Structure 1
């Protein structure tokens, strides 16, 4: 995103900001859906307190792991996509 140590342009900073926002929002949404899928039955059905605690803790753990994995994957993909093309290769956007 930088051209030979120069400063980033406003458009590049805006793109980074939007990508970070997208990564956080999509990760939070996916984590919430997964947490609801795992821990939801503990609140809908009549289960013991031990089972409820286990489902909630497993759901929270998996949701946190999914959140961080999603953020890292989105931001890594954005960074790789913003790299300049290899010399001698065609640009698919041309």
Structure 2
């Protein structure tokens, strides 16, 4: 069965996607850990009542989780938009001309 309208990704494109996913996950994990430390840090450093300590830790987990997801999604969506714009300019619908060494007159 032949698929129409689909294009195969090159190895470089697959590598770029893999690197971008790694970056998205690592930067999201760092941001989540930082947020958790800021919110729940006082509960872990100081002797606080149990209710306050539990509230800070649960709040820290919630804030860290939300920021992790938001960061990962925003990085991947931005990459998707940039990758889509790059493939459109390579196909000849705007961007730089296909002849090396020549510049676009509008640039």
RMSD between aligned residues: 1.7
Cα deviation digits, residues 43-91 of structure 1 (max 9, x gap): 2112100000000000000100000000000000000001124934x45
How far apart are the structure 2 equivalents of 1:68 and 1:75?
Answer: 11
1:5, distance to aligned residue in structure 2 (A): 1.6
How far apart are the structure 1 equivalents of 2:7 and 2:76?
Answer: 22
Larger RCO (CA under 8 A, 6+ residues apart): 1
Gaps of 5+ in 2: 97-102
Q: Secondary structure at the match of 1:6?
A: coil
1:54 equivalent to 2:42? Answer no
How far apart are the structure 2 equivalents of 1:69 and 1:45?
Answer: 30
Indicate the structure (1 or 2) with the bigger Cα radius of gyration.
Answer: 2
1:10 equivalent to 2:11? Answer yes
1:39 corresponds to which residue? 40
Residues 15-26 of structure 1: pairs in structure 2 closer than 5 A: 15-26=16-27
Q: How many residues in Structure 1 have an aligned counterpart in Structure 2?
A: 88
How does the TM-score come out when normalised to structure 2?
0.76
Gaps of 5+ in 1: none
How does the TM-score come out when normalised to structure 1?
0.86
